[in-house]
Amino acid sequence: MAYQVCIDIGGTFTDCLVSDDTGRISIFKSPTTPGAFEKGFIDVLHVAAAGYGLAPREFLRAIDLIVHGSTVSTNALVERKTVKVGLILTEGHQDVLVLREGPRKGAFQWRLDYPEPYVPRHLTRTVGGRIDARGREVRPLSLADVETAADAFRASRVEAIAVGLLWSVVNPDHELAVRESLRRALSDIPITLSHEINPMPREYKRIIAAAIDASINPIVRTYIEKLERALLEAEFGGELLLANCVGGMMPVAEMIRKPIYSVMSGPTLAPMAALALSDEADIIVGDMGGTTFDVSALRDHQIIVTPDSMIHDDSLGIPKVDVRSVGAGGGSIASVDDGGLLHVGPRSAGARPGPACYGKGGTEPTVTDANVVLGIVDPDYFLGGKMRLDRERAEAAVAKVADRLSITVEEAAHAIYATSNHNMVAAIEEITVREGINPRDSFFVCGGGATAIHIADMADILQLKRYMIPRFMAGLSAFGGLISDIRKEGTAVLLTSSVGFDAAAVNQALAKLKVEGDAFLAAAGVVPGNRRFEFSFLGRYEYQSFEIEVGLDIADGTVDADRLVEYVEAFHRMHERIYSIRAERDVVEFTAWKLRAIGKRDGQDIWRSHLLPDQVGDPTPKTIRQVYSREAGLREATPVYDLDGLGAGARLTGPCIVDAETFTAFLKPGHDGTLDRYGNLVVHVR
């Protein structure tokens, strides 16, 4: 038997999904190991080996492929534990990271202190020389300035260097010369060039991306080297791919070259899973783990890529799958402020010590503790009975909230439950209503170990009509990695407009992007028949400040001046969908052209071959559980079904509970579920 594996490291648990030759998928979990993620990586492989009755080395030798979503770079940025970076800019423009861009949000927050630049001024150096917007050298590069900067960086003991010169996306000669000079002076320090990491005309986004990439380069490289060493010692001889933030996988060498693409890469796998699980046009994906609730959306059955992701006060710079996060995970801590208001999150109990019911030293009330008190979660069947929860500790923790609010423990638990739900609903509305998606007309796909406990209540608040609880919901991101393509994005800056559209220049730029994308897929081992290319452009109305991305329907990869009216109309439609207006008389400017190189992997769709047998007769509950009802003010007898005992076509009527080995689902009255042929529960709301 040969296996393919995806490992996704979360805030509380590390998920491991394993697919075998028959398409059967199994999910395994083990506690995350902060500070030594490679240990948790190997630990969960040992858990999976035990699940198959194999010795760890025997199991690893049988694995053909491991795909991995890492949180190392994200954690380093969130915790501000990056390396010291030196930054080289064009003379006279040393304040690019200080001034940033004109903000579109928070225009009236005038009391805020101005944030510090990502790279402090004392580590920023400028060099003489100038390239203009047409790529012409106006002034030659001053190599003496570069040598002076190298001396200053050596004295400051910087660990990485970023270079961002004006108009390097049009002519990179000066940036390339700076790198060559720095390599002679500082041969052991990694150097990031802005035109290579983020080829776009906006100086701030291009340069901040280079600075962030440089600041995590040694961290990501060290983690990957530790991981490869651990796998080698465990006798793994297959291929390792790493998740990127554009919704796909990258070979290890490519990720080491561009580590910024690992930032927030894990959560981007959940929408990729939803893309495969449903054919619906508009889909909302909610992934509730131990620390956060990650929400994303698909519009017209396409993932939404945003150029505006933030890390603290700075833009990430590069485009990434649009995923928003709030502190509303199972480990989110509930507290009551001095005014008597209940808050849930963003503080989290995390993996250590975890919720009080874990019995590992946690004493503060969390969402998971509340769900245990409510009776939704069975303490004796958590993770299929592999981990027993302590109901008394959960009640003692929630009692702290009850005492502050002068209510019963059950009422306090329900208040925590409801508050957490409203926090998640706010995040869902942020990414749907404000992005031109009506949640009432959307299909919701649940992800993470806790979402199915909360989705029924959220569905009623959002007025959802249907939602899905996937069979592998608790490892939805890992499932997304297991079935994801190999992906890479390329961008070419070329300004033209609907007046005087330069089709020849655009086609030249697209052809170059296609050659680069094809070379990337070839290096990743993708055979020509499995390679695919998607094209799009960044456009705006003349005098607008910001662009939007619009897909291009060009199968052969070339634009045609005779089809210009189609490209313009596609822009109008997308602009109207996002902003509710279209200006048909305005000139449309095309500022950049993009290509997504997509490679299909062998065995990627084998999961579709494993189908559930049909349900015979009506489903029979395995037990009855007493679940607290806020409306009734008491505990009510609720039937509990075992997911593994249900066949395709099985129908369930709420109120009821569905127990799976890695999650619990709670259906409210009026919520009716049907199991599809892959074992996913599709729920209709009456």
* Residue 405, in any domain of the structure: no
Domain range enclosing 502:
486-529+537-599
Query: What's the rounded mean pLDDT across residues 286-299?
Result: 87
Q: Is residue 200 within 8 Å of 206, Cβ to Cβ? A: yes
Which residue, of 599, 618, 650, is where some domain finishes?
Answer: 599
Q: What are the structure tokens assigned to 476, written together?
A: 């939805």
How many other CB atoms sit within 10 Å of the CB of residue 556? 10
Question: How far are the Cα atoms of 32, 271, 480, 630 from residue 244, in angstroms, in the given order?
Answer: 20, 13, 12, 43
- pLDDT band, residue 36 (cuts 50/70/90): confident
Three-state secondary structure call for residue 367: helix
Residue 283: predicted pLDDT: 94
Q: What is the pLDDT of residues 210-266, one digit of tens each?
A: 999 999 999 999 999 999 999 999 999 899 999 999 888 889 999 999 999 999 888
Segment 25-48 shows an average pLDDT of: 87
Share of residues in the chain with pLDDT > 70 (%): 98
If one counts the domains in the chain, the total is 2
The verdict on residue 585 lying in a domain is yes
Backbone φ and ψ for 25, nearest 5 degrees, come out as -115, 135
- List strand residue ranges (DSSP E) for 630-677, in order: 634-642, 651-653, 656-659, 664-667, 671-675
| Alpha carbon distance, N-terminus to C-terminus of the chain | 45
Classified as helix, coil or strand, 678 is: coil
Q: What is the CATH number of the domain that holds 145?
A: 3.40.50
Q: What token pair was written down for 114?
A: 């101005």
Distance, in Å, from the CA atom of 54 to the CA atom of 61, rounded to the nearest integer, reads 11
Max alpha carbon distance in the chain (Å)? 83
CB 535 within 8 A of CB 556: no
pLDDT at 189 over 80: yes
Residue written as tokens 């020849």? 504
Contacts of 422 (CB under 8 A, 6+ apart): 461
pLDDT at residue 100 above 90? no
Confidence (pLDDT) at 312? 82
Q: What is the mean pLDDT of residues 182-201?
A: 94
Burial track 394-403 (b if 16+ CB lie within 10 A, e otherwise): bbbbbbbbbe
**Residue 648 DSSP label:** B
Indicate if the pLDDT at residue 109 is higher than 70. no
Tell me the average pLDDT across 5-32. 86
Helices (H), 186-202: 194-197
* Residue 396: pLDDT over 90: yes
Answer whether residue 177 is part of any domain. yes
Average pLDDT, the chain: 91
Q: How confident is the model at residue 498 (pLDDT cuts 50, 70, 90)?
A: very high
User: Is 636 within the bounds of a domain?
Assistant: no
Domain boundary among the residues 599, 616, 632 is at 599
Q: Is 279 exposed, middle or buried (0-12, 13-18, 19+ CB in 10 A)?
A: exposed
Q: Assess whether pLDDT exceeds 90 at residue 631.
A: no
**Any domain includes 522:** yes
pLDDT of residue 107: 61
Mean pLDDT to the nearest integer, 469-477: 91
Predicted local confidence at residue 137, as pLDDT: 96
| Residue 609 DSSP one-character state | G
Distances (CA, A) of 349 to 26, 92, 264, 295, 330: 27, 47, 21, 21, 9
Q: How confident is the model at residue 105 (pLDDT cuts 50, 70, 90)?
A: low
Closest CA to 121 of 141, 93, 160: 93
Tell me the Cα Rg of the chain: 26
E strands present in 498-573: 531-541, 548-552
525's tokens: 């081992």
Q: Which amino acid is at 215?
A: S
| pLDDT for the residue numbered 106 | 59
pLDDT single digits (tens) 60-78: 999 999 999 877 888 888 7
Residue 196: pLDDT above 80? yes
> CA 400, CA 541: separation in Å to the nearest integer?
56
Given a contact cutoff of 8 angstroms between Cβ atoms, the answer to whether 264 and 76 are in contact is no
Q: Which of 580, 599, 618 is the last residue of a domain?
A: 599
Residue 352 lies in a domain: no
Bridge partners of 7, per DSSP, are: 16, 68
Please work out, in degrees rounded to the nearest 5, the angle formed at the alpha carbon of residue 668 by the alpha carbons of 664 and 671.
100
Q: What does the alpha-carbon distance between residue 336 and residue 334 come to, in Å, rounded to a whole number?
A: 7
Structure tokens at 228: 């490869």
Tens-digit pLDDT profile for residues 342-389: 999 888 887 678 899 999 899 999 999 999 999 999 999 888 888 899
In a domain, 471, yes or no: no
Residue 341 CB-half CA count within 13 A: 3
| Cα(153)–Cα(164) distance, integer angstroms | 16
pLDDT tier at 102, thresholds 50, 70, 90 = low
Separation between Cα atoms, residue 548 and residue 552, nearest integer Å: 13
**β pairing state of 137-139 and 283-288:** unpaired
